Structure 1
């Protein structure tokens, strides 16, 4: 089965297994999609109406269009709480204001854990949270640990889980038993496997780089001392997709070279495939809004691997042995620590 067939089938919703999750700051539903594919019923909360509309168009659960606050009432009938608290406060692109940024969603996330008391919770964020804002990260871990959870965290690269993209993100899990992060796969998926069939067949002339844009890109690469052109290479995974480098014609934009030598920005569908969204998943909103939904998402195939580990943690050995990991990774234990994938 090739990559496209895999994402189109593996991410279909599975038969319910009796676990319920709520996805806070859900975006268009990348992490929810992976959890639904494991048979977990998921509801979402998202303040962007177009992203929430995308979620409701494609997923089985319902996404509430609402800006979460400390006074938001969320049902306590969930086994799992998922979340991607807005990462701009901790990302380089977001100027790393951290705790002082009014977009910081962690007080809401912690409050939800306190009120719901789920069996397990998981959140995703950018690597930068561990560096410029390390003290605040440790404060978050301490507060969540005081609610009765063992906490473990790792930097995971999506490329190690079948996503055709180098994308490192921080994943933090709180549980009350034993949790094993999914083991990395041996095979890496390339850009060619993901979008090779689209490059010369779905040409949008508006995305072709003009002569002036080509000169701009060349000057950008010289100024940034770029050794290799930033074009996507069919025999390699892609660079990290971000809102900025897929939504706008910038110097570091994600771009492909056509067979006639011209270059162009990638399309919505190409960006979606590079994030492991299936072809049946459709996006709502303007083109820019759709690119932002894709760039902000957790790759659904990576979410599926994490969901398998969550199910293993929360269900019986009999069930786990039938559906889950071939060989568990290092168990970190009760102590919080960071593990970087090689």
Structure 2
């Protein structure tokens, strides 16, 4: 590989690289947090098309030269293909944040939970990228299944491997043997701070971060030790600011309905009666913000306009010139074990599902007690994508991209916190 001269690779401002970019949720979050993307990588065809449509320039690997490093204002290159074939040495020393969501199928129930034995495990490639780039910080998002008791030993190993990414696993060696080596080295006081990272993980529910969706995930964050960030300050910045109790209080005291004045009194009473039957536990004093609800998302939050209220149950793109992908889909069903989304709660977890239609998870219960499938655009709002974000492919592929994505608002909270502590560390 030809590595450019250092004068060619000195970017201005905060910089980032995104691996396993998928439909772009975390990549967009990092960019919105002020990082300039230098490189994206993705394998799935439709996800690549989405990234090119919205924020990147397609770059095919030729095996000779690295992708061009974009200057301020240019779209970053999207390297299409297997991340194992991408070299990152040319970016050494110029990347502030490496972000990505290594494929979660090895650790999810839907992926048969094979963990380290699953060839789709993307963590080894994240560690290789760290060795070659030496970023100042790393963000990884994955499913909460990593924290299950059966996976906890391997999850702890992942964190130790992230702390010492330059200590490589021997060819053919087991992860258990490698873990023993890492444990001994971490117990030692000595070590090059340029090659050692301080690692923390955060079990999160996206709803606690202003996302109108119940979504349980784990976010792993690492800082290169020589940078000297204040980790307690970081924990403070990513502390959840929203709560279910505050939502219940807002519904019962009427402040929630102030922004939903078109909702009938009978619907309000029905919702309030359901909440009143639950244990109180309502906040007092310096309370968190109310969880965002599905109704909030559809009616418009954070500057978005309300979505059209009527969605015909056909496949005709009758909103094509108004809002992207707000198209009805027929034959929604509710059945045992697959209850619909309620308007006055955060939506259920958006899942990639089978053909993008994962049972009741994508069904919406309306105020008149009828139900229908959520549109792709409604689902994108639940994932906090802006309405201008275009998703490539047919409905099933669009829903798959959304189900695999990181909610933009959740990712942005963590990326902004990384930027803040890096800035503070450099001002010391």
8 Å CA contact 2:341–2:360 kept in 1: the answer is: no
Aligned equivalent of 1:307, options 415, 421, 424: 415
Deviation string 1:196-243 (CA, Å, 9 cap, x unpaired) is 444732233365664xx64xx33xx1xx4xxxx722211111111111
Matched, 1:34 2:90: no
Aligned equivalent of 1:183, options 229, 233, 239: 239
The structural deviation recorded for 1:309 is 0.5
**RMSD of aligned alpha carbons:** 2.3
The structural deviation recorded for 1:258 is 4.0
CA distance in 1, matches of 2:76, 2:408: 15
Alignment of 1:227-266 (within 5 A): 230-244=339-353, 247-248=356-357, 250-258=358-366, 261-266=369-374
Matched, 1:117 2:112: no
> Partner of 2:86 in structure 1?
72
Distance 1:96 1:278, change over 3 A: same
8 Å CA contact 1:23–1:32 kept in 2: the answer is: yes
CA distance in 2, matches of 1:17, 1:126: 34
Alignment TM-score, normalising by the size of structure 1: 0.79
Alignment TM-score, normalising by the size of structure 2: 0.64
The structural deviation recorded for 1:263 is 1.7
Q: Bigger relative contact order, structure 1 or 2, given CA contacts below 8 A and separation 6+?
A: 1
> Partner of 1:154 in structure 2?
202
The structural deviation recorded for 1:251 is 3.6
> Partner of 2:76 in structure 1?
61
Distance 1:246 1:236, change over 3 A: farther
8 Å CA contact 2:329–2:375 kept in 1: the answer is: no
8 Å CA contact 1:21–1:82 kept in 2: the answer is: yes
Deviation string 1:243-267 (CA, Å, 9 cap, x unpaired) is 118812x543321134554321111
8 Å CA contact 2:102–2:142 kept in 1: the answer is: yes
The structural deviation recorded for 1:134 is 1.6
Aligned equivalent of 1:107, options 124, 129, 134: 124
Q: What runs of 5+ residues in structure 1 fail to find an aligned partner?
A: 1-15, 321-342
Distance 1:262 1:139, change over 3 A: same
CA distance in 2, matches of 1:81, 1:317: 18
8 Å CA contact 1:246–1:254 kept in 2: the answer is: no
The number of aligned residues is: 291
Aligned equivalent of 2:312, options 183, 203, 213: 203
CA distance in 2, matches of 1:208, 1:140: 41
